[in-house]
């Protein structure tokens, strides 16, 4: 299968692309590479790298493509708030454009990795039929993209929406602005885990390799099983309250549980049911929070990760490149 991956140089893309290549797929990797072009394998042997913008890239990039995984986005709440107009133009309209052009060029399958953050705040456990409550620009743009792109689906254009849990784990394009990764970094650099107030909020989690595994499972599934479907992507066992999660991380890396609070109380809290993706495509994760924390801790201790890498905090890196004149 020939697969176009947008946002291929990002946190998930730089893990997904090698996994697709290892399974024998051809990959066209599209990105603006604000975080560098060294996060992907060298071109050749099934990989073509294209530096371009999803809002403007020409339709020829879709020639011969069988499927699209549309990861390109401003990738978290703080980044989305920097310039809401730009966030909607990329995360909603840019991805809608990719889906529309892909359909017109005869691409058979389109996957939109969205986010469980669209649930916002919910007391009950939510599933794919539950109401949504997006509280941020990032979450609202994701939901608009879901709605518009799902309407493009028909018997010849398979559309699948994947609402991802909060991702964690080692990636060539590392992020320490994600909860588990940031907790491990906090222990490594200061001996304390930073916890966003007040710690009672619920979040679902998924390892970056597991989210990539789930994407591949959907790509390779019978289109009749997954077309026009929305799946929460994660596992029921990895719904954690943040304070309890911090304890788990401390235990996993064998560090005394010392912590410090930061930020204002988090208004987002949601527990998610992931039964549908397990029952439909047989997805189950290989990692849990403890295993992921151990992986990041080991990479830090071995010098494979730089805790002070300025690119590892997404919003700070965007502010830097914008101050230097980059056009996002």
Please give the helix or strand (H or E) that residue 84 lies within, else none. Answer: helix 84-87
pLDDT given at position 313: 94
Is residue 328 in a domain? no
pTM of the model: 0.96
pLDDT given at position 262: 83
**Domain range for 24:** 2-323
pLDDT given at position 277: 97
pLDDT given at position 197: 85
In this structure, the number of other CB atoms found within 10 A of the CB of residue 190 comes to 12
Domain tally for the chain? Answer: 1
Pairing of strands 158-164, 193-196: unpaired
pLDDT given at position 327: 76
Q: What is the DSSP letter of 237?
A: G
pLDDT given at position 75: 87
As a whole number of angstroms, the distance between CA 58 and CA 213 comes to 29
Is residue 218 in a domain? yes
Cis peptide before 170 (omega within 30 of 0): no
Angle among Cα 7, 13, 4 to the nearest 5 degrees reads: 65
Is residue 296 in a domain? yes
Please give the structure tokens belonging to residue 147.
Answer: 């709605």
Q: Any idea what the CATH number is for the domain that residue 133 is in? A: 3.40.50.720
Is residue 261 in a domain? yes
pLDDT given at position 140: 96
What is the number of helices (H) and of strands (E) in the chain? 12, 14
Residues in the chain where the model's pLDDT stays below 50: none
Helix 242-252 × helix 289-301 angle, to 10° = 50
Residue 12 contacts residue 213 (beta carbons within 8 Å): no
């Amino acid at each position: 299968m020939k697969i176009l991956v947008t946002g291929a140089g990002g946190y998930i893309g730089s893990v997904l692309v090698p996994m697709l290549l290892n399974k024998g797929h051809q990959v066209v990797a599209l990105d603006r590479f604000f975080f560098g072009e060294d996060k992907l394998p060298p071109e050749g042997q099934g990989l073509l790298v294209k530096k371009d913008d999803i809002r403007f890239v020409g339709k020829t990039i879709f020639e011969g493509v069988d499927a699209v995984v549309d990861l390109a986005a401003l990738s978290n709440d703080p980044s989305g708030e920097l310039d809401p107009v730009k966030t909607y133009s990329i995360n909603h309209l840019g991805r809608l454009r990719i889906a529309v052009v892909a359909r017109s060029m005869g691409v058979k399958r389109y996957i939109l990795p969205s986010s469980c953050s669209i649930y916002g705040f919910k007391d009950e456990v939510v599933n794919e039929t539950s109401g949504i409550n997006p509280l941020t620009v990032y979450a609202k743009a994701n939901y608009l993209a879901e709605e518009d792109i799902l309407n493009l689906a028909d018997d010849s254009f398979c559309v699948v929406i994947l609402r991802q849990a909060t991702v964690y784990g080692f990636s060539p394009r590392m992020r320490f602005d994600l909860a588990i990764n940031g907790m491990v970094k906090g222990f490594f650099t200061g001996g304390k885990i930073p916890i966003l107030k007040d710690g009672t909020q619920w979040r679902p989690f998924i390892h970056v390799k597991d989210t990539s595994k789930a994407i591949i499972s959907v790509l390779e599934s019978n289109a009749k099983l997954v077309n026009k479907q929305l799946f929460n992507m994660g596992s029921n066992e990895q719904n954690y309250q943040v304070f309890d999660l911090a304890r788990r991380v401390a235990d996993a890396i064998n560090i005394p549980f010392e912590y410090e609070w930061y930020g204002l109380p988090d208004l987002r809290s949601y527990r998610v049911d992931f039964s549908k993706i397990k029952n439909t495509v047989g997805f189950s994760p290989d990692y849990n929070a403890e295993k992921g924390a151990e992986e990041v801790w080991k990479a830090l201790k071995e010098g494979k990760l730089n805790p002070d890498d300025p690119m590892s905090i997404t919003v700070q890196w965007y502010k830097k490149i914008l101050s230097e004149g980059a056009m996002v």
